[in-house]
Amino acid sequence: MTTTERAVSPVPEQSPSEHVPGGRDIWFFVLFESLAFTAYFCVYLFNRTQHEQVFLLGQSHLLLWLGVLETIVLLTSSWAVASCVQDARAGRYDASKREALLTAGFGALFLVLKVIEWVRLIHAGHTFTSSEFFQYFFFLTVIHCIHLLIGFVVLGVLWYQLSDQKRRSQPTVEICATYWHSVDFFWVLIFALLYVVR
């Protein structure tokens, strides 16, 4: 352990156990929105058990590897924004800005993959109204993508904060990152429930 390593420790230097990343308010959002998603998931899982064959049949039209790829892309963007927060905290704003761009890039890649997946499914005749499974599939993926699009606005705020010395505020950077991570873990849950659950 070198001294530099301690400086970049994920725990901020000022009182370590007092620091709520991004402040409490954004955590209210994260927890509230996870409850809303959990409610959607519960409805999905319950109906799934009632019409198992329909859901299994619908699921067989998904490409699991594409879902895994999307997951990894989004996890990577999350990693990038986590590094961005730490670099910003350590004052390495150039690295921080680079990582913010990387985050947006992986986010955009996720979106492109998602659109390709939708187009492929729609061409194969699987739409929002075609079967019960695809109702949930399109509902959950679209509502998630709306969160992602809001995430791009949030990343814009992050960029705006980092790009000017006078504006740089670490709490705002953390708020933006916390939002982006929540979009990431909503996807982790959606992915498991739509693609893997049997």
Partner 1 sequence: MRRPALLDDPKRELWLAWYATIAFYTLYTVVFFIITRTQPPGKAWYTPTQVVGWFASRHEGLLIGFGLIFILGGLSATSIALITYSIRRMSVSRVFAYSYLIIYAVSAVPGFLFICVAMTVGAFRPGRDPEILRWIYDLGFLSFSGTMGVFLIGSLIWMVAILLDKNRVFPAWFGYLNLCNALTEVVVAPSWIFHTGVFAWNGVIAWWINVVVFGLYTGAFIFLLRNMILREDFGTGPLPDLLPPEGRGRMLAEFMSP
Partner 2 sequence: MENGFNKRIFVAWLILVAISLVYLWIDHSATHQGIPTASTVVTVVAICFALIKVRIIMREFMEVRGAPRFLRRLTDYWVVLMAIALFGVYFVGIAVA
CA distance 187 to 173: 22
Q: How far is the CB of 43 from partner 1 (least distance, A)?
A: 5
| Whether the Cβ atoms of residue 195 and residue 69 lie closer than 8 Å to each other | no
Q: Number of helices (H) and strands (E), helices first, in the chain?
A: 7, 0
CA distance 191 to 196: 7
| Whether the Cβ atoms of residue 27 and residue 20 lie closer than 8 Å to each other | yes
DSSP labels, 42-68: HHHHHHHHHTHHHHHHHHTTS-HHHHH
Q: How far is the CB of 107 from partner 2 (least distance, A)?
A: 14
Total residues binding partner 2 (CB under 8 A): 63
Q: How far is the CB of 172 from partner 1 (least distance, A)?
A: 10
The residues that touch partner 1, with contacts defined as CB under 8 A, are 23-26, 28-29, 32-33, 36, 39-40, 43, 47, 128-129, 132, 135, 139, 143, 146-147, 150
**Binding residues for partner 2 (CB under 8 A):** 2, 4-5, 8, 10-12, 16-21, 27, 31, 34, 38, 41-42, 45-50, 52, 56, 59-60, 64-65, 68, 71-72, 75-76, 78-79, 81-83, 85-87, 90, 92, 95, 174, 177-178, 181-182, 184-185, 188-189, 191-193, 195-198
